[in-house]
Chain A
Amino acid sequence: PDSPLARWAKSLHSLLGDKEGADLFRRFLERQRCVDTLDFWFACNGFRQMDPGDAKTLRVAKAIYKRYIESGGGGTVAKQLKPPTKSFLRDCVKGQRLDPSMFDQAQAEVQASMEDNAYRLFLSSDIYLEY
């Protein structure tokens, strides 16, 4: 009953909290060409733990923004975000107003989309069923 597969099927959080589960989900997303959404999700968690007073934190915020949100063409993350969420983050980064929770809303939107789409597909995918 407490097999890894049963745990991973409980919730996206239980899947992503487990190294093997997260690795398997990554392989699935690589096939679907949307691994960016997973990297962004982890980047948001990593950012939340950074010290807002550290100069490195601003560089990381800019890097996340540039890589996943600003990208004009075909960014899978950018497509899943609401316009107000994107403009909020643009203002934070350009105005250098950093807060550990600044990516929370964007992360929640990407997470909801993963739960509705990629996670459900993953639970019925060959990669999961053959594990």
Chain B
Amino acid sequence: IDSEDDLLQECISSAMPKKK
């Protein structure tokens, strides 16, 4: 099971702009 920090980091990363 993912830790709280991992979930938060995943959520942040999902919203970050990707390299064009």
* A→B interface (CB under 8 Å): 16-19, 21-22, 39, 42-47, 49-50, 56, 59-60, 62-64, 66-67
Contact = CB atoms under 8 A, between A and B. Distances in A.
Q: In terms of DSSP, what is the predominant structure of the interface of chain B?
A: helix
Interface residues of B, number: 15
A43 B16 contact: no
A39 B15 CA distance: 10
Contacts of B5: 63
B7 A42 contact: no
A47 B20 contact: no
Interface string B1-20: 00011011011111111111
